[in-house]
Amino acid sequence: MATETIPVIDLGPYLAGEPDALDRTAKELRFALTEIGFYFIVNHGIAREKIARMFAEVKRFHDQPIEKKLELKLDQHNTGYLPMRGNTLRTSTVQTGTKANLNEAFFVKREMAPDHPDVLSGRRFRGLNRWPDLPGFRDTVIDYCNEMERLVQKMVRLYARALDLPANYFDTAFAEPMFSMRMTHYPPQDGPVDDEFGLAPHTDTSFLTLLAPNEVQGLSIRSQSGTWIDMPAIDNAYVVNGGQMLQRYTNDTFLATPHRAINKSGGARYALPFFCDSGIDWPVAAVPTTVGPDRPPKYPTTWYSDYMTWYLKRNYDVLNSQPQAAE
């Protein structure tokens, strides 16, 4: 039954620099990512007030008239507004024939300077964020993303040790990670409706995803036995999971566990997943401790831009109705 229970990992001792906490916490992480694929983190260092401000800003964004939101419609960099039912999960390995997802979202990536070479060259996924005319919104979101990035940079040292690598193995790869902050609104959903979800069963693309603590539940994960488990609410705990990039880095040692979202709360549900990956120019390939003479790499080396271009073209309907940027 241990593999049917979502582990809770206390980051406090590790973040405080306690002796032996790095390897002890890494051992817990390895169990979570090889047996379940999801875990909670507590004592993560993100202030409750910052999380609460983010939820308030996300509600404020989605409370705008649809015309205002559509002024910022999702672009080729995957930044901007994704309208309700704007994506359909066609790359899912666990669900076929689903209808478009019953959610809307606003995406930002790293805030880039207008004169940055990647911006000037039009490099995909390195464009400018577009911001709503909501005083304070931009500053709150950027501050939160900065906090999340710093937390990820500490957490990847645990991932390195969980893979029997030196603690600093991923430091350079995550010195300027690619991330996507998704601010999602799920309307109430009367169910069940055949093949209709707030977010259909899928696996993430990311190295790791951190989902902010949420009092309104709706997330379920599929255990390795095939049982769907509703994620419980744990006070001030982030939900963390790995995705397809993590599978590639670990040669399937670590799991990308399917999950889904259905809002049965009777009211609106907002969610704040932070998807994080290594730097845009860092090759995504199996680390040395996961390959050998009798265990060749299962995936070819890839890069963030190539993989995400393929993924978004397949799943984001709104992008297929407008010209694509050069890849």
Q: What pLDDT is recorded for position 324?
A: 36
Which residue, among 323, 272, 263, 315, has the nearest Cα to 105 in the 3D structure? Answer: 272
Which positions of the chain have pLDDT values less than 70?
1-3, 85-101, 190-200, 314-327
75-106 confidence digits (pLDDT tens):
989 999 998 865 555 444 555 555 666 789 99
* pTM (2 d.p.): 0.91
* Domains, the chain, with CATH or none: 2-321 (2.60.120.330)
Is 62 in contact with 132 (CB distance < 8 Å)?
no
- Count CB atoms within 10 A of the CB of residue 42: 15
**Cα atoms found within 13 Å of the Cα of residue 57, Cβ hemisphere only:** 24
Q: What pLDDT is recorded for position 262?
A: 80
- Count CB atoms within 10 A of the CB of residue 70: 13
Tell me what percent of the residues of the chain surpass a pLDDT of 90.
Answer: 71
Burial group, residue 296, by CB count within 10 angstroms (0-12, 13-18, 19+): exposed
Q: What pLDDT is recorded for position 84?
A: 80
Is 27 in contact with 162 (CB distance < 8 Å)?
yes
Q: What pLDDT is recorded for position 284?
A: 96
